[in-house]
Amino acid sequence: MEWIKKLFQILWRIWFLLVTAIVVILISPLLVYTLVFDKILLFNKIKRWAASVILFLSGFHCQTEFPENFDTSKQYMIIANHISALDIFTMIKIFKLPFIFIGKEELSKLPIFGYFYKKTNVTVDRSSPQSKKDVYNQVQKFIKKGLSVVIYPEGKIPDEDILLHPFKNGAFRIAIEHKLPILPVILYDHKRKFPYRWTGGSPGKVRIKILPPIPTDHLSLDDMPELRDISYNLLYNELMNDEIGKNFKN
Task: Provide the CATH number for the domain around residue 228.
Answer: 3.40.1130.10
Pairing mode of beta strands 182-187, 204-210: antiparallel
196: pLDDT strictly greater than 60: yes
Average pLDDT over residues 240-248: 79
Q: Tally the domains of the chain.
A: 1
pLDDT-derived band at 30 (thresholds 50, 70, 90) equals: very high
210: pLDDT strictly greater than 70: yes
Amino acid at 225: P
Instruction: State the average pLDDT for the chain.
Output: 88
Residue 18 lies inside a defined structural domain of this protein: no
- Compute the distance between CA of residue 150 and CA of residue 94 in angstroms, rounded to an integer: 13
Of 214, 99, 103, the C-alpha closest to 156 is 103
232: pLDDT strictly greater than 90: yes
The pLDDT of residue 126 is: 67
Residue 91 lies inside a defined structural domain of this protein: yes
Average pLDDT over residues 68-79: 93
Q: Are 60 and 86 in contact (CB under 8 A)?
A: yes
Residue 25 lies inside a defined structural domain of this protein: no
Residue 5 lies inside a defined structural domain of this protein: no
Mind listing the pLDDT tens digit for each residue in 79-116?
999 888 899 999 999 999 999 998 777 767 777 777 77
Range of the domain at 121: 60-247
Strand partners, 60: 204
pTM of the model as a whole: 0.91
Strand partners, 123: 103
Residue 1 lies inside a defined structural domain of this protein: no
Average pLDDT over residues 31-60: 92
Residue 39 lies inside a defined structural domain of this protein: no
Which residues fall within 8 angstroms of residue 185, CB to CB, at 6 or more apart? Answer: 78, 79, 80, 81, 91, 208, 209, 210, 211
- Compute the distance between CA of residue 161 and CA of residue 69 in angstroms, rounded to an integer: 36
How far are the Cα atoms of 63, 120, 214 from residue 52, in angstroms, in the given order?
Answer: 13, 19, 28
